[in-house]
């Protein structure tokens, strides 16, 4: 589990070298992929984290952060670790060193660092690099599906006293994220939306009508699936609240579950944790209305307005 708090996180982001060449993000996925491989090499060579730290004149916590993809690694440190782990093949070393260089490439979202919390940077990088994004939402429409006016209304709920320029910067960031769905190589987005999110309109009825129309338009995209859980379906498996599961095309990058909190986030990447959330998501998809029926629900809401 990776818990990101507001103050202490490293920025994040994705394209990778070697076998990971061609990913769509900034440094996030390369960092995770490099960390996975460094940990495997260290364990295979029976080197402790303390011994690895001593070899690069660092602390145990730095080795931990590197192996979990929490921080960029210096090429010199990686070269020293590869030597310690007995990696002498020049092709293998160069592949990992190329991947290391990718971990310092900033993502596009860094230009929003004035309003972007560090705990959210990692998610945007993962979102950008994912091939499949599955999400359950209970209170608001998912950020990738929001209209500009709806996004502004949602942002104002938690930033009611923010300056106008700050609110607009946050809206701009969210709109920039949305471009992901229509870019070449766009991920598959599969969203399950509780009916409650459609019955509590932020910004008023007009904003919600426009948002519903936008949802109908987005369901025409081949990579977007939207299912609604109507109130009539009764209790369902996702009683713990909203969550997102991200899957990546790279075999060395594990699935990640994202849990957003009030002013921080938790990222789960352990196999058992991810499997539990995947099971819940599958159950929720079975309980939710089909895509066709969900579109009928949206059209019905427009008729009621």
Burial grade of 234 (CB within 10 A; 0-12, 13-18, 19 or more):
exposed
Indicate the helix (H) or strand (E) that contains 129: helix 118-129
| Cβ pair 20, 69 in contact under 8 A | no
- pLDDT at residue 71, as a whole number: 82
> What is the gyration radius of the CA atoms in the chain, in angstroms?
21
pTM metric for this prediction: 0.81
Q: How far is residue 178's CA from residue 197's CA, in Å, rounded to a whole number?
A: 19
Calculate mean pLDDT across residues 175-203: 94
The distance of Cα 243 from the centroid of its chain, to the nearest Å, equals 10
The residue assigned the tokens 């818990």 is 3
Calculate mean pLDDT across residues 67-78: 88
Q: Flag whether pLDDT at 304 surpasses 90.
A: no
Q: Which two tokens stand for residue 283?
A: 């159950």
Q: In what order do the strands lie in the sheet with 265-268?
A: 2-4, 265-268, 256-260, 243-247, 132-137, 188-194, 224-229
- pLDDT at residue 302, as a whole number: 94
- pLDDT at residue 30, as a whole number: 86
Length of the chain: 305
- pLDDT at residue 288, as a whole number: 96
The distance of Cα 45 from the centroid of its chain, to the nearest Å, equals 32
Q: How far is residue 203's CA from residue 221's CA, in Å, rounded to a whole number?
A: 26
pLDDT one-digit tens code per residue, 240-296: 899 999 999 877 788 999 999 888 999 998 899 999 999 999 999 999 999 999 999
Please list the alpha-helical segments (H only) found in 130-163. Answer: 148-158
Calculate mean pLDDT across residues 114-132: 90
Domains of the chain: 13-102 (1.10.260.40), 112-304 (3.30.870)
| Cβ pair 150, 210 in contact under 8 A | yes
pLDDT one-digit tens code per residue, 5-18: 433 333 333 333 33
The residue assigned the tokens 């701009």 is 172
């Amino acid at each position: 589990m990776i818990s990101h708090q507001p103050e202490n996180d490293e920025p994040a982001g994705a394209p990778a070298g070697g076998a990971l060449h061609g990913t769509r993000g900034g440094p996030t996925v390369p960092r995770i992929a490099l960390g996975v491989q460094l940990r495997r090499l260290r364990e295979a060579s029976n080197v402790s984290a303390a011994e690895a730290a001593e070899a690069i004149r660092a602390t145990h916590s730095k080795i931990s952060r590197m192996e979990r993809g929490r921080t960029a690694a210096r090429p010199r440190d990686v070269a020293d670790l590869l030597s310690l782990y007995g990696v002498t093949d020049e092709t293998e070393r160069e592949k990992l060193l190329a991947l290391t260089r990718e971990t310092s490439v900033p993502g596009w979202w860094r230009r929003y660092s004035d309003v972007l919390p560090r705990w959210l940077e990692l998610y945007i990088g993962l979102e950008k690099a994912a091939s499949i994004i599955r999400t359950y939402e209970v209170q608001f429409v998912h950020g990738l599906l929001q209209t500009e006016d709806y996004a502004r209304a949602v942002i104002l709920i938690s930033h009611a006293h923010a300056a106008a320029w700050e609110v607009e910067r946050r809206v701009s960031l969210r709109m920039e994220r949305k471009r992901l769905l229509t870019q070449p190589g766009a991920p598959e987005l599969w969203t399950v939306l509780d009916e409650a999110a459609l019955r509590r309109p932020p910004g008023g009825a007009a904003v919600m009508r426009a948002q519903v129309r936008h949802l109908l338009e987005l369901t025409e995209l081949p990579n977007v699936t939207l299912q609604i859980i109507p109130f009539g379906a009764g209790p369902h498996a996702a009683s713990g609240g909203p969550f997102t599961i991200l899957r990546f095309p790279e075999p060395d990058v594990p699935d990640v579950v994202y849990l957003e909190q009030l002013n921080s986030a938790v990222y789960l990447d352990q196999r058992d944790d991810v499997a539990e959330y995947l099971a819940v998501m599958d159950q929720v998809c079975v309980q939710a209305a089909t895509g066709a029926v969900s579109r009928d629900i949206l059209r019905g809401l427009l008729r009621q307005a």
